[in-house]
Amino acid sequence: MLVPFLVLTGMPVSQAAPLGLVSVVAASSAAARRQMTEHTTNHRLGVVTETASTAGAVAGAFAAGLISDVALTYMLAAVAVFAALAGGKRKGMRWKPDPSVSKDEVGEWVGSLNGAYSLNGDVIPYFPKRVGAGLVAMGISGVVTGISGVGGGFIKTPAKSELMHVPVKVSSSTTTFSIGITAAAALLVKAMHGDVDVELAAMVILGSLVGGVVGSRVQSRLSPPTVRRFLSVLLLVVAAILVARA
């Protein structure tokens, strides 16, 4: 949300993008502790998909000057609308509670990308699908992150949830973990080029740390369909802000 908001206030994308990366890294760090405690983060899945995302982020950071601000704005808006529709149209929960799976098995399962999470006392196992297609989507999200400074989470979370069939709670927590790595890789390139405003970055870090803590607490109390609908609404807001600015 930060980069579109800053662009809307008149800040050029080239200046807003590094601040967006700073915000992503700070928020990811702040939210990680609670999500790890609740075992909704699948680190193995995050690291696997992050391989493609980080490569895309570095490439995008170097190629940032090759795309005009207007073209980038419309591209981000289109991606946001597509992700909102993909997540918002599905009803109910794809994965159901399994009484045969014990509470000791909650979390990521060693040796695979599978896992289980707890919801209202029930244990719900899940098994990611279409990993290859997911890696392609993560690579695209990395390129978007490197070019624009947005976290890429608005691509990663729907991609994991709708393309790879990862439960939205696990998808959002894993994305929160992984986008920090992607953003850090792109931010390093921006910092080497002297594109980071240190004073503004300090304020962004403070706000993002608070937002990350609050957001992780709210997410833990919401049902998966509610999380999915909330995400879709936010994506549409992002798209509207981008188009209004363009």
Q: What is the pLDDT of residues 197-234, one digit of tens each?
A: 777 888 888 888 888 778 777 766 777 667 767 777 87
pLDDT at position 133 over 80: yes
pLDDT at 127: 92
Tell me if 220 sits within 8 A of 38, measured CB to CB: yes
The backbone region for 152, taken as left when phi is positive above 0, alpha when psi lies in -120 to 50, beta otherwise, is left
104-125 pLDDT, tens per residue? Answer: 888 889 888 898 988 877 899 9
The pLDDT tens digits for 165-206 are: 888 888 888 887 777 777 777 777 777 777 777 778 888 888
Q: Give the burial string for 88-125 (b: 16+ CB within 10 Å, else e).
A: beeeebebeeeeeeeeebbbbeeeebbbbbbeeeebbb
Residue 108 falls in which region: left (phi positive, over 0), alpha (psi -120 to 50) or beta: beta
Q: Given a cut of 80, is residue 160 above it in pLDDT?
A: yes
Under 8 Å between Cβ of 166 and 160: yes
Tens digits of residue pLDDT in 47-105: 888 888 888 878 887 876 677 767 777 777 777 787 777 666 656 677 888 888 888 88
Q: Residue 184's CB: how many other CB atoms inside 10 A?
A: 17
Residue 123: name the closest of 131, 132, 111, 114 by CA.
Answer: 114
DSSP 207-229: HHHHHHHHHHHHHHHS-HHHHHH
Given a contact cutoff of 8 angstroms between Cβ atoms, the answer to whether 56 and 136 are in contact is no
